[in-house]
Structure 1
Amino acid sequence: MTAQLPYYVYVVFLLTTLTTLLFLHFGFKKAECKHSNSALILSVCIGAWLFLIGTLALYDFFVDFDTIPPKLMFAVLPPCLVVIGSLFVAKSRAFILRIPITTLTYLHIIRIPIEIGLWWLFLAHWVPELLTFEGINYDILSGISAPFVAIFMVGLRSKVKYGAILWNLIALGMLVNIVTHAILSTPYSFQRFAFETPNVAVFYFPFIWLPSFIVPAVLFAHLTSLLQLFVKNEESI
């Protein structure tokens, strides 16, 4: 079907997934109340989700382009619904408001290895050029700028609240842009782009974790940061 991938492509995606989980765990740990195991419970639940989705991918469960609804939906929708739902449930909302915004901002650094990984996948014909920084994917800029935003906009004593809001909105727009094109590049009946080289990497292990965990984690970081920036005053960011 496609070219064989070098081992380092798998290693980078596995390490990036682990790094994303560690960022979240650290943020959860900072947000949990005294004598609470919330961070551990949440991290174990995420680990179980990764194991389940990864196992299904290893058995080619998602490599079925004719089933309606698409099987990939079962890997993508649950985490996205959890992320969005957490913003509206009072108890979880109070919890995520305590996650340090600097941690949420630093998390976006993982977008750098992801974009490099996508480029490697393009070279092997697993994803179209459209989804790389040589195409219309500018997401790597969010990863490169994240440390500067974390330090100079939300990490210093004099914070740049509106600058942080603007950065989050722009970076969120970049995420929506690439996710939309990624969906419309998959070999389903609704495919609109990249017919010669469709987006097939996300159906296989470990790349299934990109839409089922990493993208929802990045979405969570943006939405939670924006919630904090709009709800909290500048001194408490």
Structure 2
Amino acid sequence: MEHLPFYIKLIFILSTIFSVLMLYKAGNYSKSIILITLSWLALQAVVSLSGFYTVTSTIPPRFALLVFPPVILIAVSFFTRKGRNILDGFSLKTLTLLHLVRIPVELGLYGLYLHRVVPEIMTFEGRNFDILCGLTAPIVYYFGYIKKVLNSKVLIAWNILCLLSLANIVSTAVLSAPFPIQQFAFDQPNMALLYFPFVWLPCCIVPGVLLAHLVTIKRLINSSI
């Protein structure tokens, strides 16, 4: 990845910092949240810089170690009393603004595509429409939580649609990578996400966005019952 211009790497670094700060703020500046997140980022930076994730022939792919630990932690948070207490204190306003990160991420992915380290299918010129979630986030924030003219059904629907969009790009990214399960983009596979700092996208930004949607949907459903 040495041939990539620094500004593309900077986009992903700054996007990660933004995600972490928004989660920290949404969680009422919880020390445990920031410590766990920063430790996880540091660990994955060291592991990815060692070249660990560039070995793609293993089954299951080593890439799974980027995604599954935070997903498991999220699941544990929803199914334990202590975890639910923490999640119930999250600010839905801030979680909604967190989705702004999807704008620079999608622009960064497009830059990676232009330098032939991710396929077109992973960008907004392909089958990735996730940038729309970022662009509509401030609208949903303003009319849903400031003006309060959007009811809970509309907010739930928006979150579900954006969650489906997230699932679409995540599955596309995995199936476009040079793993034994690869299905797409054999001429230009998804290589970038195996390297630092781009590993921070699947190990931090994506789980953060996932958590924001799940917490918001759960809270909105509970409040409308």
TM-score, structure 2 normalization: 0.96
Per the alignment, residue 91 of structure 1 pairs with: 82
1:70, distance to aligned residue in structure 2 (A): 1.3
One of 139, 146, 150 as aligned partner of 1:148: 139
User: Matched residue of 2:3: which SS?
Assistant: coil
Per the alignment, residue 103 of structure 1 pairs with: 94
User: Matched residue of 1:184: which SS?
Assistant: helix
For the 8 Å contact 1:13–1:206, the answer to whether it is kept is: yes
Per the alignment, residue 42 of structure 1 pairs with: 33
Cα distance per residue 1:170-197 (max 9 Å; x no partner): 1101000111111110101110000000
> Number of aligned pairs?
225
For the 8 Å contact 1:154–1:161, the answer to whether it is kept is: no
For the 8 Å contact 1:152–1:160, the answer to whether it is kept is: no
Q: Which amino acid aligns with 1:7?
A: F
Q: Which amino acid aligns with 1:79?
A: P
CA distance in 2, matches of 1:9, 1:57: 17
Cα distance per residue 1:117-151 (max 9 Å; x no partner): 00000000110000000000000000000011011
For the aligned residues, what is the CA RMSD?
A: 1.4
Runs of 4+ in 1 over 2 A off after TM superposition: 154-159
For the 8 Å contact 1:115–1:133, the answer to whether it is kept is: yes
Per the alignment, residue 117 of structure 1 pairs with: 108
Per the alignment, residue 177 of structure 1 pairs with: 168
2:159 matches 1:168: yes
CA distance in 1, matches of 2:37, 2:186: 34
User: Matched residue of 1:154: which SS?
Assistant: helix
1:49, distance to aligned residue in structure 2 (A): 0.4
CA distance in 1, matches of 2:191, 2:146: 39
Cα distance per residue 1:191-237 (max 9 Å; x no partner): 00000000011100000011111100000000000011011249xxx
- Percent identity over paired residues: 39
For the 8 Å contact 2:22–2:94, the answer to whether it is kept is: yes
2:19 matches 1:28: no
One of 78, 87, 96 as aligned partner of 2:69: 78
What are structure 2's unaligned runs of at least 5 residues?
none
One of 189, 200, 211 as aligned partner of 1:198: 189
CA distance in 2, matches of 1:156, 1:98: 22
For the 8 Å contact 2:28–2:89, the answer to whether it is kept is: no
TM-score, structure 1 normalization: 0.91
For the 8 Å contact 2:118–2:192, the answer to whether it is kept is: yes
User: Matched residue of 2:52: which SS?
Assistant: coil
For the 8 Å contact 1:76–1:212, the answer to whether it is kept is: yes
Per the alignment, residue 132 of structure 1 pairs with: 123
1:90, distance to aligned residue in structure 2 (A): 1.7
User: Matched residue of 2:28: which SS?
Assistant: helix
Per the alignment, residue 218 of structure 2 pairs with: 227
CA distance in 2, matches of 1:142, 1:157: 19
CA distance in 1, matches of 2:153, 2:33: 31
Per the alignment, residue 33 of structure 1 pairs with: none
Quick one: structure 1 residues 162 and 65, their matched pair in 2 at CA, closer, same or farther if it must change by over 3 Å?
A: same
1:154, distance to aligned residue in structure 2 (A): 2.9
2:207 matches 1:208: no
CA distance in 2, matches of 1:160, 1:154: 10
Q: Normalized per residue, which structure has more helix?
A: 2
